[in-house]
Amino acid sequence: MRVAVLGIGSRGDVQPCAALARGLAGRGHEVTLVAAGRYAGLAGPGVTFAPMSVDPLAVTESEAGRRWLASGPLGFVRGFRTVVEPLAVILVKEVDAACADADLVLAPALGAFGRHLHERYGMPYRILHFQPSEPTREFPNPLVPRASLGPLGNRASYALVERLGWMVLGRMVNRLRAGVLGLGPMRGSPFAADRRARVPVLCGVSPLVVPRPADWPRHVHMTGYWRLSGRATATGGPGWLGGIEDFLEAGPPPVFVGFGSMVPGEPERVADEVVAALRKARMRGVVQGLPVTENDDVRVVGEVAHDLLFAEMAAVVHHGGAGTTGTGLASGVPNIVCPFFSDQPFWGRRVAALGAGPAPLPIRALSRDGLAARLLAVSKYQENSAQLGRLLRVEDGVKSAMDLIERC
């Protein structure tokens, strides 16, 4: 088959898609990975890379993007027209060109590209989920910041989130469908349409982390994580461990602290609190993405293979993104989640429920005392973390997903 795999978003969104792309190419399929140009190194042998000139990470890190994200609910909605839509026109054109000849499209739910391309060209598609987003009575939509709303409320929360999303994005989506793809308007959420059509869903989450809900339909599959080894993605630079091998060898395992593509509202304050917490807990630290000054006990790294680095840590402190959480749990060390928004509180609660880390510490409440107390308690979670990590490392989510793709 000619398979197009869409990786829309930051590295945590693209890397699982790259793992699927490499796996399918290894089985003899012609595979194209579509993602922002900065992730070309993830494509690997046998995979054609189609770079997108629109980089979502660059947008959110830009001055205009940061103002948009901090503009409050009304400003956030207005920003879709002024900040997002001009770039979305380019992105949709590039995705359309890269996927036009595909026999099958694997696309994340975000943007509903699979449905749009299917309507334009007729090829089948599969939906990729990075968090469990199919309606269930067992827990609310991961974007809802509550552990439970009761069975009926839990299930209803999925429709509510989808309807709110369509209210915000529907007009823009239909303008893009008409202006770029030549398609008629959608009358409602594409997620509801996909569900009615029973389009197969591949959820790249381990049932060891989120047990598969009993009320999910048979066309929704929880495959396990789509993991890509850091050794497979290392492309030059100082090395897989960020050039800190000497630091790791010079003392006890340190603590990793990094929040991925999330930028705290007060990065200097957060950096000061993190360094003070490490000092208070008498632990060494490896810090990523915060303005800290290196010293004998703290080193700074840039982009580095998380799976390889995390395994060398005493604990990992992160934002609770779906990909980072999966990597953190597979590393077999305790996780301390400091969620910002979106599905991150959901993953923080899962880590705590699994006994792989303490209760989440929201980034807005991060303090030296709160973080130090959690660091001093990580020994309580080491046994559970190590056992879960061993099980996750032998799980082959890519193989499970590929088997399902080929079977259909």
Residue 282 located in a structural domain: yes
45 and 104 in a single domain? The answer is: yes
Residue 313 lies in a domain: yes
178 and 97 within one domain: yes
pTM of the model: 0.93
CATH code assigned at 357 = 3.40.50.2000
Give the model's pLDDT for residue 50. 98
215 with 260, same domain? no
Last residue of a domain, one of 204, 226, 248: 226
Q: Measured between alpha carbons, how far apart are the two ends of the chain, in Å? A: 12
Distance CA 224, CA 245 (A): 31
Signed CA dihedral, 301, 325, 320, 13: sign only: positive
pLDDT at 238: 46
Is residue 105 one of the residues assigned to a domain? yes
CA distance 373 to 266: 22
CA distance 285 to 289: 13
Residues 193 and 262 in one domain: no
In this structure, the answer to whether residues 256 and 167 fall within a common structural domain is: no
129 in Cβ contact with 158 (< 8 Å): no
Question: What does the pLDDT read at residue 85?
Answer: 86
Whether residue 399 is contained in a domain is answered as no
pLDDT score recorded for residue 237 = 44
In sign, the C-alpha dihedral spanning 12, 14, 17, 23 is: negative
Asked whether residue 331 falls in the same domain as residue 287, the answer is yes
Answer yes or no: do 266 and 385 share one domain: yes
Is 220 among the domain residues?
yes
Distant-in-sequence, close-in-space partners of 233: CB < 8 Å, separation ≥ 6: 15, 18, 41, 42, 44, 305
Q: Does residue 222 sit in the same domain as residue 262?
A: no
Domain membership flag for residue 76? yes
304 and 243 inside one domain:
yes
Counting the structural domains of the chain, the total is: 2
Residue 182: the pLDDT is 97
In a domain, 403, yes or no: no
Q: Does residue 286 contact residue 256 with C-beta atoms inside 8 Å?
A: yes
Residues of the chain with pLDDT under 50: 235-238
156 and 275 fall within a common domain: no
pLDDT at residue 240, rounded to an integer: 66
Number of helical (H) and strand (E) elements in the chain, helices listed first:
17, 12
Residue 164: enclosing H or E segment and its boundaries?
helix 150-176
Q: What is the pLDDT of residue 233?
A: 58
Instruction: Judge whether 407 lies within some domain.
Output: no
Select from 226, 243, 275 the last residue of a domain.
226
Type of residue found at 89: V
What residues make up the domain containing 216? 2-226
In tens, the pLDDT along 142-171 reads 999 999 999 999 999 999 999 998 998 899
The pLDDT assigned to 263 comes to 83
Last residue of a domain, one of 196, 226, 256: 226
C-alpha to C-alpha distances, 389 to 11, 204, 329, 392, 400, nearest whole angstrom:
22, 16, 6, 5, 19
Pair (209, 270) in one structural domain: no
Give me the helix-helix angle, 397-407 and 11-26, nearest 10°. 60
Do residue 283 and residue 315 come from a single domain?
yes
- pLDDT computed for residue 231 by the predictor: 65
Judging by DSSP bridges, how do beta strands 47-52 and 104-108 pair with one another?
unpaired
